[in-house]
Amino acid sequence: MDSILKISHLGKSYQNAGRALVVLDDINFSISPGSTNAIVGPSGSGKTTLLGLCAGLDRSTTGSVELNGIALDKLTEDERAEVRNRNVGFIFQNFQLLPTLTALENVMVPLELRGEKNIRPCALELLDKVGLADRGHHYPLQLSGGEQQRVSLARALSNQPKILFADEPVCYGDVDHPVPGQIDHWVS
């Protein structure tokens, strides 16, 4: 496979008071397996929107997204969810941890959705790797921002993704456990 992600003529716009607000227009690129890439730009330039489209979290207005050889724009929402669960890890800018689940349970969610068996040991190992083995029983509101981000990292890696997206991974990293360094270590 030449690319894990191929973006062709991608565009996204929203209707605002009867007018189209164009966020992305004619974006083209591809990403090779094993590569590290960064999307940079000022606040409000569409970086988060682009990541969401690439990961199949949203639909584009124009163009196409091919993820691991699968044309996402041709799939239903349920089919895209299945592709995400089998191929994508995503570290959200605001973590998206489920507040009623513990850190351990949040890491277990993608594995449960896949129908995996014996998932608790895997989730515990992932929490240990991000330095949170002793915090698995804590709820998100009982964790610092850096700890929440590390739970999000463990969850994103729990399904052994073929591609990992990180939306602003440096926002809440802390000195003792810098998240970008952990990402580099885990994917190398």
Please identify which residue in the block is written with the tokens 């969610």. Answer: 109
What average pLDDT does range 67-80 have in this prediction? 95
Q: Which amino acid is at 86?
A: R
Give the total residue count for the chain.
188
Whether residue 98 is contained in a domain is answered as yes
Domains in the chain, number: 2
Predicted confidence band of residue 115 (pLDDT cuts 50, 70, 90) = confident
Higher pLDDT, 149 or 139: 139
Looking at the structure, tell me whether residues 187 and 148 fall in a common domain. Answer: yes
Q: What is the structure's pLDDT at 170?
A: 63
Whether 119 shows a pLDDT value over 50: the answer reads yes
Contact 150, 130 (CB under 8 A): yes
Residue after which a domain boundary falls, among 47, 74, 101: 74
Residue 129 to residues 40, 78, 102, 152, 170, Cα–Cα distance (Å): 28, 31, 17, 13, 18
pLDDT digits (tens, 9 = 90+) for 13-47: 999 899 999 999 999 999 999 898 999 999 989 99
Whether residue 83 is contained in a domain is answered as no
Find the domain containing 58 and state its range: 1-74
Whether residue 79 is contained in a domain is answered as no
Higher pLDDT, 181 or 95: 95
Whether 102 shows a pLDDT value over 80: the answer reads yes
Share of the chain above pLDDT 90, in %: 70
What average pLDDT does range 155-182 have in this prediction? 72
Closest by CA position to 8, among listed 28, 25, 23: 28
Closest by CA position to 128, among listed 100, 86, 158, 99: 158
Contact 72, 80 (CB under 8 A): yes
Q: What is the structure's pLDDT at 175?
A: 47
Which pTM does this prediction carry?
A: 0.83
Looking at the structure, tell me whether residues 104 and 165 fall in a common domain. Answer: yes
Whether 172 shows a pLDDT value over 50: the answer reads no
Q: What is the structure's pLDDT at 171?
A: 52
Looking at the structure, tell me whether residues 94 and 52 fall in a common domain. Answer: no
DSSP conformation letters of 27-84: EEEEE-TT--------TTSSHHHHHHHHTTSS--SEEEEEETTEEGGGS-HHHHHHHH
Contact 163, 83 (CB under 8 A): no
Predicted confidence band of residue 153 (pLDDT cuts 50, 70, 90) = very high
